[in-house]
Structure 1
Amino acid sequence: METPILNRKLVKVQAPRANQGFLGPDHIARAVIQNDFSNSDPFIILMDDFLDKKDNEPVGGPHPHAGFETVSLLIEGEVGDSAHTMKSGDFQMMTAGSGIVHTETIEGESKMRLLQMWLNLPKKDRWITPRVQDLPFSNVPKVYENGVEIRVYSGTLGGVTSPVKNHTPVVIADMILQPGAKTTQKLPATFNAFLYVIEGSLGVGDAGALSDGQIGWFDRLDEEGESTFSLSGGSSGGRAILYAGQPQNDPIVSYGPFIADKDEEIRNLYRDYRSGKIGHVSDLPEEQRFRY
């Protein structure tokens, strides 16, 4: 007997608060996902950072990561250093794995909005060799149909597939709907999935709705198969980022910039970082760097 196709419904709607960020009074940070990994697996953290910098003092700098992947989508502005710069609409997936240092620096006056996800790695890939994948906006696969635009940064949606390689199966897409426009899309039924609305409002299914700043979690099945979800543009249209990924179902330990399976591994990572054993992303060999 075939598994019935699940029509996804919203089961939880949240409105995360915006707080002053660590970069100073011009930085507003919203923790979209934090401290609920048993329910958000494979998504560990999602931060929505706004910066409206009005001086020339550099902010940010180098810092380490290990044991997971950083998934960055730049909604507006520019971020990076002379070795690597992201611009509006660009995407980067950095597999920290066994350990990497990267630099996120903003110099001079700047207006920026960055979504950065910490994505869990499968346990077998926790300490894999680091790699970095860059997908500039000009090369992002896109679909335009009946007032709906879908930009696919990872995985497959709307009949197009991103070139980005995944350790953890994950779909990431920017979905923009004109007022009244409708779309129905497919996702694997076992994927944990949510929408984060960054402009306007969207109808979700027959009875749900989300507005700017809200996150909506879908229900899911434990059995393999397909599922669908339906969206419609609100009175002024709407834009949401879809994140959907395969849960790994393994507990993790999180401390500072590191993810691990045991506390001892966290201590070892700090020791390695302080002793200079964790290299910088700009020093990765070409075979560990991908630009699409």
Structure 2
Amino acid sequence: MTATTTPISRSITKSVLSKEQTEGVGARVRRSIGCPEIRNLDPFLLLSVPKNGGFPDHPHRDFETVTYMLDGQTHHKDFAGHKGTIGPEDLQWMTAGPQDGVVIKVIAGDSHRLKFQIYTHIPTMFLDFKMDMNQTVTQTILATYSGFIYILSGTAYIGDPKSETEAKAHHTLIFSEDSTSTVRIQTKDDTAHFVLIAGEPLREPVVQIGPFVMNTREEVYETYRNYRDGVNGFERRRARNSDGTPK
């Protein structure tokens, strides 16, 4: 008989409730990564869960953005004239795989023999879990990754049974940084819907001011000057509005 052992799960080092706040044009947003309690979580800078409303013209530089639409619709336009509409659960890359009582959508990375080959500038995994009551799932994560879970609805329990952390809706749960390469998630008398996001830390200086992310303050100030003057990547700003129409 071959003895089997249960993998040790990463534990939770911090649990933070994402409070609703006003941003943009009438938008109500729950800020997760990027709030004062979690300024950033290398390599992640920001996670926001918007409720409604919109956002005015704004620039970006030196980071990637991902929009994952759970329900409703959002319309996007940019200075280059590109525009589009994202509907419920829209994303360019997604693979869904069920197991008994658990549905996992692989947006980036891999889970339980499901893998999606999508290029990201840094190694990243982005998984969507929906779990029925009284279910347990163990997810493999590279030991070098930083990561977190954001609970969209319901209640889950994360970690080994003797030291598990209860996780309720709108909370961000940050994983311990150790050599453990699995995370155990369990539901009991409630269902749970959450996203698990993890990636390889950059381990470099990060200066984030407004919509710009660089390595030094001087680089950010230079980017603001570029944006103001419409140069070095912002040339189209001088000629067009974000809906693509001429100024």
Please report the TM-score for the alignment, with normalisation by the length of structure 2: 0.81
Deviations 1:78-118 (A, max 9, x none): 11247221111123xxxxxxxxxxxxxxxxxxxxxxxxxxx
Corresponding residue to 2:210 among 256, 264, 267: 256
Corresponding residue to 1:12 among 14, 17, 31: 14
Corresponding residue to 2:201 among 247, 266, 281: 247
Determine what percentage of the aligned residue pairs are the same residue: 25
Please report the TM-score for the alignment, with normalisation by the length of structure 1: 0.69
Give the drift of 1:248.
0.9
Higher Rg: 2
The SS at the match of 1:33 is coil
Report the equivalent of 1:32. 32
Cα gap change, 1:23/1:81 in structure 2, threshold over 3 Å: closer, same or farther? same
Contact kept? 1:37, 1:44, Cα under 8 Å: no
Give the drift of 1:6.
5.0
Cα gap change, 1:18/1:36 in structure 2, threshold over 3 Å: closer, same or farther? closer
Report the Cα distance in structure 1 between the residues aligned to 2:215 and 2:105, rounded to whole angstroms.
34
Report the Cα distance in structure 2 between the residues aligned to 1:166 and 1:218, rounded to whole angstroms.
21
Report the Cα distance in structure 2 between the residues aligned to 1:237 and 1:257, rounded to whole angstroms.
36
Greater mean alpha carbon deviation, residues 161-170 or residues 184-193: 161-170
The answer on 1:79 being equivalent to 2:74 is: yes
The answer on 1:163 being equivalent to 2:158 is: no
Report the equivalent of 1:173. 127
Report the equivalent of 2:98. 144
Report the Cα distance in structure 1 between the residues aligned to 2:103 and 2:42, rounded to whole angstroms.
27
The answer on 1:235 being equivalent to 2:236 is: no
Q: Which runs of 4+ in 1 moved over 4 A?
A: 35-39
More strand by share: 1
Q: Which runs of 5+ in 2 are unaligned?
A: 1-6, 78-82, 238-247
Amino acid at match of 1:215: T
Give the drift of 1:60.
2.9
Instruction: State the number of aligned residues.
Output: 220
Report the Cα distance in structure 2 between the residues aligned to 1:64 and 1:169, rounded to whole angstroms.
25
Contact kept? 1:157, 1:171, Cα under 8 Å: no
Greater mean alpha carbon deviation, residues 31-40 or residues 156-165: 31-40
Contact kept? 1:6, 1:189, Cα under 8 Å: no
Report the equivalent of 1:216. 173
Give the drift of 1:36.
6.2
Matches of residues 265-280 of structure 1 in structure 2 within 5 Å? Answer: 265-277=219-231, 278=234
The answer on 1:43 being equivalent to 2:44 is: yes
Contact kept? 2:24, 2:56, Cα under 8 Å: no
The SS at the match of 2:127 is strand
Cα gap change, 1:74/1:231 in structure 2, threshold over 3 Å: closer, same or farther? same
